[in-house]
Amino acid sequence: MTTPRLLHPDQREAYVKIAERLYSSYARDPSGPDPRVFFTAAVAVLLHYPLEVAAQVNDPFWGLPGKSPHLPTPYDIKQFLESLMRPIREKAAWDQRCKEQIADSRKAKEGVRQSMEEIEDEMAKRGIFLPGYIKRSGQIPGRNYETPETVRRKLGLTQEQWDALPDDTARGGARWKPMK
């Protein structure tokens, strides 16, 4: 909830008129609360909200007169106005997060970007082995199984020699099969 703002006298009058209209929307009980006390309390609550939100309190269908047949307390007025302010505050927070994300993305575009190798190395430290990392390193650390690159290195073959080996078409067309 916001704190009351310093208002122009015309705006203060608008809040008082809202409270008067709210009070006049209900049947008056002679033994009910003193109208001056009601106005003072209602205006004190209404001042914490923007005028366009506070004015919705009087709507005969959507406002407090349409929700309760009894004169509302300051608590009721506050609860009603808070229910109206919630989506407004959520939208403002959403917009703020969007602005921050856009600013962050602009900073990222202007800043130094990581190379693919740096990203792959960083992910490997976290235990996620991307294909580029496996191809460069020859195997996944901590796992004992062979890849085509480790077989080529173990046999001391150059890439040209490896490429010159015929495929084993009888076994599915691969020159290398993983050990089981």
pLDDT in tens, 12-51: 788 888 888 787 777 666 666 777 888 888 888 988 999 8
**Mean pLDDT, the chain, integer:** 80
DSSP designation for 113: P
24 Cβ contact partners less than 8 Å away, ≥ 6 residues apart:
none
pLDDT at 95 exceeding the cut of 90: yes
| Amino acid sitting at position 99 | K
Q: N- to C-terminal Cα distance for the chain?
A: 67
For 100-117, what is the mean pLDDT? 81
136: closest CA among 164, 111, 155, 115? 115
